Amino acid sequence: MAHSFKAAVSVLALLILTGCAATDNTARQVVVDAANAMGGVSAVQSLDTLEIFGYGHEAYQDGGSLITTEPTAPEKMTNMTAYHRVIDLANDRTRVQARLYRAFIFAGEAMMKGLPINQSLDGEVAYDGTRRASEEAALTRRMDMLAFAPVAVREALEVGSRVSNRRRQDNLTLVDVETEDARQFTLAVNNDTGLPVWVRWLEPHENLGEITQRAEYSGWLPAENVLLPMSINTVSDWNDTVMLRLHIDRYVVNGAIDNLAAPTAVRNAAPPVPNYTVNAEPVADHVWHLTGNNGANSVLLEFEDHITLFELPTNRAWSRAVIAKARQTVPGKPITQVIISHHHFDHTGGLREAMAEGITLVAHEGNMAWFEALGAREVTTYQDALSRNPQPVRTLAVDDHLQMADANLTVDIFHTVSNAHMAHGLFAYIPEHKLLIQGDLFDRNWEVYFWGNTYDDNVAYRNLDVERDVPIHGTVTPIADVHRILDQQKANARALCAQVDSIGLSLPGCPLAWD
């Protein structure tokens, strides 16, 4: 980690280290050259505080929420305005404040208008305002700070950092860096300018096992006595998803900054660890709603000789808890299938767990290549159930309709039509109990509804007689209440559009296309 004393002695240390292994020195020299290109080793080492002002876009759900899984489907981005990042390099602290709003239709009003974020890191302690954040957030924020090229170069210069594996790639020279706190990244510099071109790093990922990101830097201009990049473009190895585009308006170098130390109460609080308790609420004979994490549910369908789940959402730990609860609720029958409403990452966080269990994925045929790629991801560092126990991906593709039926249950699975949120989605209907099981057609907790008549269109298209809605997000709801709540949510969307229009602005989805 960065400390001013170490910074002061690093140049001396570099001279002393000259006698060490040749590979390490030549690798270190790449970092020294990069610092010199940026204005000099001492100028880089004198970077104590940085403020970054700008705006940009970030990938929604890491690129896991497009209209379909087709490679031609456009990314969905979240706009970032009022971006203000403060970095306290001397103390390993950082804070990002911004307002986020969806560049596409969304169900939360604040997320349409601009939700403020306030995310900090003090050493190993991540916190949001006065609330301690998770250890995963601490890791992500640490890597995010390290990946900012000036920070990467400054940290790589530290005596405690190990720089190795110098190699060439086209017109770049690459080195691997391991910091004193054992964080690893690869730095690429341009052979002509000596300036950093990108920083690449690896993180664990619920849906993908792990993800490699590469933050690319361009537009180097002088700020005080160093060169700093005016643009950052971060791309992941998952379908080359653009994770972040940041346009920088202004830097403040070594100015006075807020104290970013975590408040004592935050520092003393344990990082939150989610408690995944699953409740099995009976819905009808052989049907349970598996609830409990306040975000997304599953549905247990008990056939004569096996269990089929509808959805394994959220993340791997929640999905393990769902699988355990299903086995406890219906002992002695294997879980053989999971029906997936649609591919969005909040609905597929448990798929790698399902694959590791040998469970067959039942989904619209348009998703299967994507699921197979997801299951075949190479995991090098952050092992999970699937990487420890690799299994072939078992799939059952649905085109327009598939019926699962035995003496216990008849379940009709239909392709979702008339929907702007997903084009390769499925929902289920149980005729005997008049249950409609769906993900993202309706959620009673949504504030604004931009999806028109998709719910009723699907019911009418399939000529269904629905009594109760069994949702992945929300609670089991009689159909009359579904209609009443939908009407309110649509009225809220109408009001939001009118409000925005009245001040001469606009939003995705406004004016409402279906009104």
Q: Please compute Rg for the chain using Cα positions.
A: 26
Q: Which is closer to Zn ion, CB of 154 or CB of 344?
A: 344
The minimum distance between CB 340 and Zn ion, in angstroms, equals 11
Of the pair 105, 266, the CB lying nearest Zn ion is at 105
Which residue number, 438 or 477, has a Cβ lying nearer to Zn ion? Answer: 438
List residues binding Zn ion (CB under 5 A).
344, 440
Lookup result for tokens 């104590």: 48
Q: Are 472 and 311 contacting, i.e. CB atoms less than 8 angstroms apart?
A: yes
CB nearer to Zn ion: give 346 or 384: 346
Give least dist CB 430 to Zn ion, A: 22
**320/344 with CB nearer Zn ion:** 344
Least CB distance from residue 236 to Zn ion, whole Å? 19
CA atoms within a 13 Å half-sphere pointing along the CA-CB vector of 263: 10
Residue, CB closest to Zn ion: 344
> Smallest distance from the beta carbon of 311 to Zn ion, in angstroms?
11
Return the closest-CA partner of residue 39 out of 221, 172, 206.
221
Minimum CB–partner distance for residue 178 and Zn ion (Å): 38
The beta strands (E) that lie in 286-400 are given as: 287-291, 298-302, 307-310, 335-339, 360-364, 395-398
Structure tokens at 247: 């346009």
Nearer to Zn ion among residue 166 and residue 344 (C-beta): 344
- Which strand (E) or helix (H) includes residue 303? none
Q: What is the largest CA-CA distance in the chain?
A: 81
Interstrand relation of 410-415 and 426-430 (parallel, antiparallel or unpaired) = antiparallel
Number of CB atoms found within 10 A of residue 268's CB: 10
Q: Which is nearer to Zn ion, 344 or 364 (CB)?
A: 344
Cα–Cα dist 175/169, whole Å: 11
In the complex, least distance from residue 435 CB atom to Zn ion, rounded to whole angstroms: 20
Which is closer to Zn ion, CB of 49 or CB of 78? 78
3-state secondary structure 234-276: EEECCCCCEEEEEEEEEEEECCCCCCCCCCHHHHHCCCCCCCC
CA distance 220 to 199: 15
Our measurement of the distance from residue 115's CA atom to the centroid of its chain's CA atoms, rounded to an integer in Å, reads 17
**C-beta of 421: minimal distance to Zn ion in Å?**
6
We find the least distance from the C-beta atom of residue 318 to Zn ion, in angstroms, to be: 16
Triad 225, 228, 231: Cα angle to 5°: 160
Q: Would you say the C-alpha torsion 362, 367, 370, 372 has a positive or negative sign?
A: positive
Q: Please tell me whether residue 500 adopts helix, strand or coil conformation.
A: helix
What's the min distance (Å) between Cβ of 423 and Zn ion? Answer: 11
Structure tokens given for 107: 């169900």
Shortest gap between Cβ of 134 and Zn ion (angstroms)? 23
Q: Which is nearer to Zn ion, 440 or 469 (CB)?
A: 440
Q: Which residues of 42-71 are buried (b: 16+ CB within 10 A; e: fewer)?
A: ebbbbbbbbbbebbbbbbbbbbbbbbbbee
- Residue in this structure with the two tokens 């057609």, named with its chain if needed: 441
> What's the Cα-to-Cα distance from 338 to each of 305, 342, 349, 355, 359, rounded to whole Å?
15, 12, 13, 10, 7
Residue 78 or 233: which CB sits closer to Zn ion?
78
Residue among 60 and 148 whose Cβ is closer to Zn ion: 60
| CB 441, min distance to Zn ion, A | 10
